[in-house]
Amino acid sequence: MTGESDVERWFEELDHPLSDAMQRARQIILGADPRVIETIKWSTPTFVYKGNILSFTPSKTAVSLMFHKGAEIPGDHPLLEGDGRLVRTMRFTDVTGVETGRTDIERAVVAWCNWRDEAGLATT
């Protein structure tokens, strides 16, 4: 598994209009729960704890946080959107939007970590 230095390098090489918003989202995700680590998977930052929690899916108009199994995360997470079997996404158009969604991001990340611990899964 890759680590923080690879994610730092990814951001250093990034030429994206929403880089600041992506960095803020990254800080919120990592600060939400100390169990979360970051890596590069599928050529993008991915946050993991006993499985893949979420990945950035950047577009030029939004910071998209794709929660790989967002439909299964326990609790109410109003900013998680989508109607697929598993994937849910949170989207933000700027740093202010990310900051406004901070509580929902944090709650979803913590709920994932607690859910995975309650399931008795081994750390991967």
All structural domains of the chain with their residue ranges? 4-118
User: Which is nearest to 91 in space by CA: 52, 51, 60?
Assistant: 60
| Cα 28-31-37 angle, rounded to 5 deg | 100
- In this structure, CATH architecture of domain 4-118: Alpha-Beta Complex (3.90)
Helix (H) or strand (E) holding 36: none
Tokens of 89: 């996404």
105: Cβ–Cβ under 8 A, 6 or more apart, which residues? 25, 28, 29, 32, 65, 79, 90, 98
Q: Phi/psi at 38 (nearest 5 deg)?
A: -115, 155
pLDDT tens for 86-95 read 999 999 999 9
Instruction: Identify the weakest region by mean pLDDT among 3-12, 15-24, 73-82.
Output: 3-12
Instruction: Give pLDDT, residue 1.
Output: 45
117: Cβ–Cβ under 8 A, 6 or more apart, which residues? 50
Instruction: Give pLDDT, residue 88.
Output: 98
Check if the beta carbon of residue 98 is closer than 8 Å to that of residue 21.
yes
pTM of this structure = 0.92
Instruction: Say whether pLDDT at 75 is over 50.
Output: yes
Tokens of 43: 């050529």
d(CA 113, CA 51): 9
d(CA 47, CA 29): 8
